[in-house]
Amino acid sequence: MAEKKDTSKAQVAKFIDTLKKGDNAKAGEEFKQALRDKVANSLDAKRVDVAKSIFNGTDAQPHSDPKPNVVDPSPKTDTMVDTTGNEVPSAESQPAT
């Protein structure tokens, strides 16, 4: 964290030096860059805090949906049944048109 403070101080010093030289446009860019770095550093620190708090003190929960009971399929598949339970005639038993 000390390295970030040193970088921030160096950026502020560079900004002030640029202002002293009278190069306002460049000083504006230096200010924007220092502000971007400060915001990025703050966001990074907050991400670390949030990541630590998310996973501390929580236990894994079992899967919420129970597995369905599956009936073994019939070994004989020559009879077809529709969704309402009615037997569907096979293509072989229907007359050709």
12 assigned to some structural domain: yes
Domain that holds residue 17: 2-55
Structurally, the chain folds into a number of domains equal to 1
In a domain, 83, yes or no: no
**pLDDT score recorded for residue 42:** 93
pLDDT at res. 43: 95
Instruction: Give the residue, 14 or 71, on which the prediction is more confident.
Output: 14
Instruction: Tell me whether residue 66 is in a domain.
Output: no
Comparing 42 with 89, the larger pLDDT belongs to 42
Confirm whether 45 is domain-assigned: yes
Residue 25 lies in a domain: yes
Mean pLDDT of the chain: 79
pTM: 0.46
Query: Is residue 61 a part of any domain in this protein?
Result: no
Instruction: Report yes or no on 78 lying in a domain.
Output: no
Report yes or no on 77 lying in a domain.
no
- Report which of residues 78 and 96 the model is more confident about: 78
Task: List Cα–Cα distances, 77 to 1, 74, 80, in angstroms.
Answer: 71, 7, 7
